[in-house]
Amino acid sequence: MSNLKISIIGAGSAVFSLRLVSDLYKTPSLQGTTVCLMDVDEGRLDAITTLATKLAEENGACIRFEKSTELEQAVDGANYVINTAMLGGHAFLEKMRAIGEKHGYFRGIDTQEFNMVSDYYTLTNWQQLGFFLQLARLMERKAPGAWMLQAANPVFEGTTLIRRHSPVKMVGFCHGHYGVLEVARRIGLDPEKVDWQVAGVNHGIWLTRFHYAGKDATPLIEAYFNERESWAPENPFDDHLSFAAEDAFRFYGQLPVGDTVRNSSWKYHYDEPTKKKWYGEPWGGADSPSGWKWYQQSLEQITALMAQLTRLVQHNPTQNLSELILSQVEQLPAVFMEAKKLLDGKQLSGEQHIPFIDAIENNHAGRFVVNVPNSGSIPGIADDVAVEIPALVDSQGIHPEKLEPGLHERVRKWYLAPRIQRMEWALEAFLKRDPSLVVEFLMRDPRTRSYEQAKGVVEEIFGSGKDVHEPK
Amino acid sequence: MSNLKISIIGAGSAVFSLRLVSDLYKTPSLQGTTVCLMDVDEGRLDAITTLATKLAEENGACIRFEKSTELEQAVDGANYVINTAMLGGHAFLEKMRAIGEKHGYFRGIDTQEFNMVSDYYTLTNWQQLGFFLQLARLMERKAPGAWMLQAANPVFEGTTLIRRHSPVKMVGFCHGHYGVLEVARRIGLDPEKVDWQVAGVNHGIWLTRFHYAGKDATPLIEAYFNERESWAPENPFDDHLSFAAEDAFRFYGQLPVGDTVRNSSWKYHYDEPTKKKWYGEPWGGADSPSGWKWYQQSLEQITALMAQLTRLVQHNPTQNLSELILSQVEQLPAVFMEAKKLLDGKQLSGEQHIPFIDAIENNHAGRFVVNVPNSGSIPGIADDVAVEIPALVDSQGIHPEKLEPGLHERVRKWYLAPRIQRMEWALEAFLKRDPSLVVEFLMRDPRTRSYEQAKGVVEEIFGSGKDVHEPK
């Protein structure tokens, strides 16, 4: 029996928390664990606590739940702290985006070359980066020796920041690498039989190895692109084989994987018509105005669904939650598969956190894709920059795989190098809390037409801003 | 008596060649040298040969002159090859600029962030970069052991390219660092008494040490900026204490030196009014349309002057050239000081080539500012990237000075890193002769509004271009 305390920070993200709880009750060696659900939103916290408790009970799990609105209480004595909190929430992101667009920055100033994902804020969300460090400091005091499992974005900036400035054990997770399996399926291969590796930085990973039946199957991707007659996305996030992915594949010689397809240069993103051309009609990808609206509506539906489920369970505690979920999600195809997986005793959610804990605690070794300091894994990238790479994890820790073959020089030089540069600039601006560095950052932004424009948007976002100098 | 052969490639650049010849006749230990003047333009070659021969004779120099329109003949058996050739000449540069401007690229596509100097072409002048390698290869065969002294731009890309791809002994020179002395003079210090260092890459060097009477005099620069009432440039190149220099000094914490002041971000360069604001009225710096016109007119005047001098000397071989020059330049204040220096037996021109040769050949050790592979001089920059740093040169070779204090991290991270990245992109495009890489380069250019625009300008410049891919 496990005696662990796993704390989920920002547990009000109900789907994410339910995924973790379902993974947990499907992991026999972690029974006995205490899960501390923490969120500053009491209503959401109550809801997820109700649902998680019910789900665990119904599935005969031995999990003890605690809830708290206090960070310190959640961290205190934890063995694992899973951070999924997004400070300010979507309302903050949309407010920042709106100010950006008012000043001529389509999709907001956080949207940048190789960083187009609409909720991956590296420039304006200093609260978020500040929270990462605050959490690390708190863990140093209240949970020495515990692991921080970082799920909240920006994972790239966050992992680099925390690992540089705190001795806390910490790893960043994302699920973008599952795109490899989707690609395999789409081009007619059995995803289970693909021998693959990805490498890069979070939201900037590339298919470095793609072997099938002992042979390099990269030519099959090229053949798919050469031969296909047409292509249309099933939803805004369906971009793995988009024209943008194809174009990047041809230029870089390796396929962009997961959110990397979204995180391209302005070439595919100048405006909505351009996005549609490269990511397909009718949305133009997830990061177009209409694609993002689609995503926000999905989120609202899920939030409403969770509230509805909570009410039903609270009203009738003996009702079977699993049956309830399945009956409710029939009208929501977007979450139907997800819900089926959640309730299927044999399938894990795909989130890596619980299997990672199981690997560390019980030496149930497994393969993961982790965000950790490079330390030589990718040549030409500094040791203290967080990279996303495959690794074996066991009770001895994280053992990065040797990348064979390596990442193309083209990817490193034309994609990762400028992306890493922007990470460095963003972190310096944050660490010094210096809005004039954000102005300087924007002087390298193709949407900037004048110094006054960059200064204007930064002043509106950060207040008057120090050191914004101009000629007498 | 020296038995050297020094070849000047592109010797038709008359002022530059006369500077070298005057330095040579003022260097006793190099008497006996053979100077081979080489240029593909026979008329200009004849003119410079006439003037150089006459100047040397009149000053009692023991220099033998040869002339050739054949590169191989000039290189054959040379000990030093000074390369000042600009393939295509100004006509090529202006043609490329015009195509760029037609497609919406103000000042042409070679004008780039941190590379705004109007004749420093890194993207379109593949002939020039190709010539650098051709010359190096030829030297390997025809002048093994000889030194290549690179004066022709782009010195940064050129030095990096040649040193990476040829074993030839080679160093790049520029005179931008003399800006330090000008700054000292302007803020009221005796330039001779300043203890200074600069570091960076060519046209991107920064005042890392500025000591006066044993103390750091950097605060005097800041005080000058704080206290001055107004500022107006004397000519388009007078920018050392411009508002652009001041702004960069405040942001980077070190003063940009020489052409570095021109090579700033778009902040100071978006358009002519912006340039005027930062570089001063009426020109807006040397790289504005009117500033560059001023420069071109100066060049034309000098060319006309050289032609006139040549005619006069040919017509009346006994006439004293020195007197002739002084009488002719009275109407040309821009070159008057230059001519006085040329004819003053005690003053060298400031070009480093001849003193460098004297240091190597005769162990007349001297301090130079050289462009050489970094090899650890500036931390955080790859060893095989050419940096511009001070060095002691003697018969044992080039000994870079230890930089004390070092270059600010701010400069490395926000200026040199992106500049170096663009050097790498430009060199790859050249080495692969791949116009699609220039398109990709332009996708990161703030003037680009669409892929079609970038493709259009590249197609017009390079022909239809291979691998310019677009969605089906």
Identify which of B278, B414, B448 has the shortest CB distance to residue A425.
B414
pLDDT band at B254 (very low <50, low <70, confident <90, very high): very high
Chain B, nearest residue to A441 by Cα = B414
Q: What is the pLDDT of residues A65-82, one digit of tens each?
A: 999 999 999 999 999 999
Cβ atoms of A207 and A180 closer than 8 Å: yes
Beta strands, E only, B29-132: 34-38, 64-68, 80-83
Q: How many helices (H) and strands (E) does chain B have?
A: 18, 13
- pLDDT band at B470, cuts 50/70/90? very low
Q: Is residue A178 scored above 80 in pLDDT?
A: yes
Domain range summary for chain A, segments of one domain joined by + = 1-87+125-174+313-382+392-402, 177-287
All residues of chain B having their beta carbon less than 8 Å from the beta carbon of residue A421 are 413, 417-418, 421
Contact B440 A414 (CB under 8 A): yes
* A469/B113 CB distance under 8 A: no
Active site residues of A: 175, 259
pLDDT for A472 = 46
| Residue B238 amino acid letter | D
Report the pLDDT value the prediction gives residue A468, as an integer from 0 to 100: 47
For residue A464, what pLDDT is reported?
A: 62
CA atoms within 13 A on the CB side of B109: 30
Inter-chain touch B469–A440, beta carbons under 8 Å: no
pLDDT at A51: 94
* Residue among A404, A410, A411 at smallest CA distance from A216: A404
Q: Residue A178: exposed, middle, or buried by beta-carbon count in 10 A (0-12, 13-18, 19+)?
A: middle
Task: Name the least confident of A170-184, A346-360, B330-344.
Answer: B330-344
Identify from B264, B440, B452 which residue to disrupt to test chain A contact, counting A C-beta atoms within 10 A and taking the largest count: B440
Contact B440 A250 (CB under 8 A): no
Do β-strands B255-257 and B204-212 pair in parallel, antiparallel, or remain unpaired?
antiparallel
Topology (CATH level 3) of domain B1-87+125-174+313-382+392-402: LDH C-terminal domain-like (3.90.1820)
A–B: how many Cβ contacts below 8 A?
83
DSSP A169-216: EEEE---GGGHHHHHHHHTT--GGGEEEEEEEETTEEEEEEEEETTEE
CA-nearest residue to B448 within chain A is: A446
- Evaluate the CA torsion angle A357, A359, A364, A369 in order and state its sign: positive
Nearest to A421 among B246, B418, B472 (CB): B418
Whether B212 shows a pLDDT value over 50: the answer reads yes
Give the DSSP letter of residue A271.
S
Claim: this prediction has a pTM higher than 0.80: yes
Helix runs in B228-288, H state only: 243-252, 272-279
User: To probe the interface with A, which of B263, B443, B469 has the most A CB atoms within 10 Å?
Assistant: B443
Nearest-CA distance A443 → chain B (Å): 6
pLDDT band at B349, cuts 50/70/90? very high
Task: Report the percentage of chain B scoring pLDDT > 70.
Answer: 98
Consecutive H or E run containing B23: helix B14-25
Q: Which ipTM value was assigned to this complex?
A: 0.93
> Among A60-64, A197-201, A305-309, where is mean pLDDT lowest?
A305-309
* pLDDT tens by residue, A410-425: 999 999 999 999 999 9
Residues B291-329: tens digit of each pLDDT: 999 999 999 988 888 899 999 999 998 889 888 888 888
Find which of B414, B416, B419, B431 to mutate to test the A interface (most A CBs within 10 Å of its CB).
B414
A321 contacts A55 by C-beta, under 8 angstroms: yes
**What dihedral do alpha carbons A82, A84, A88, A92 form, nearest 10°?**
160
Average pLDDT over residues A339-366: 92
Is beta strand A194-201 parallel, antiparallel or unpaired with respect to A204-212?
Answer: antiparallel
Q: Which residues of A touch B423 (CB under 8 A)?
A: none
